[in-house]
Structure formats: C-alpha cells, structure tokens
Structure 1
Amino acid sequence: MAQIKITQTRSQIRRPGDQKKTLTALGLGRIGKTNTVEETDQIKGMVAKVRHLVTVEAA
C-alpha cells in the first residue's frame, strides 16, 4: 500500500466531538503536527471527514 502524509492545518477547537476523535485516531492533535500512515479505505474515510482541517500529500 502507498503511504500518505497528513498534516493538521486548522484547529480542532469548536469542532464536533467526532471530528476531534478522528484527528486523534489519525495521530494528530495540534496545528502543524504531521503523521505518515498507510492509505487504506478506512484512512481515506477519516481524512474525508476532517478534510477542512488537514492537508494530505503522497509520502
């Protein structure tokens, strides 16, 4: 599988709880934090849920 690099670019303050939990599950939690993960269907779904808070690049 391919790897993708996810970086949090916007704050999770004043966001619904499910979006905060999704960021935590992706290994994020503060602006500027980056995590590299496998590109699976589950990860794609999580990224789609918080796409307005993160940027995604190929690793």
Structure 2
Amino acid sequence: MSKIVIELVRSPVGYKYDQKQTVKALGLKKLHDRVVKQDNPQIRGMINKIRHLVKVEELRKEEE
C-alpha cells in the first residue's frame, strides 16, 4: 500500500469537538506537525472530515 503525509496547517481551535478529536486521532498535536499514515479508506475518511485543517501529500517510493 502507498503512504501519505498529513500536515496540520490550521489550528482546530474554534471548530467542533469531533473535528478536534479527529486531529488528535491522526496523531497531530501542533501546527505543522507531520505524520505518515497508510493510505486506506479509514484514514481518507478522517482526512475528508478535517480537509480544511490539513495538507495531504503522497509519499514517493524513494522517501520510504
């Protein structure tokens, strides 16, 4: 499976509780934190919920 890099680019302060919990569940704590996750439907659903707060990039094979 491919991997994706998720970066928190906006603060979840002022947004709904479930969106804050989604950011936390992805492992993002501070602005500009980056995490690498497997690209699967569950992670894509989480990203879709907070798409206004994050930036997503595909991880190329050389970077793995």
Identity %: 41
**AA aligned opposite 2:55:** T
| Alignment correspondent of 1:4 | 4
Aligned to 1:33: 33
Partner of 2:20: 20
5+ residue gaps, structure 2: 60-64
Is 1:45 matched with 2:45? yes
TM-score between both structures, scaled by the size of structure 2: 0.89
- Aligned residue pairs total 59
SS in 2 for 1:42: helix
Unaligned 5+ runs, structure 1: none
Moved over 6 A (4+): none
Paired position in structure 1 for 2:55: 55
Describe the superposition over 1:17-42 as per-residue Cα deviations: whole angstroms up to 9, x where unpaired: 00000001111021100000000100
- Distance in 1 (alpha carbons) for counterparts of 2:58 and 2:29: 20
Larger Rg: 2
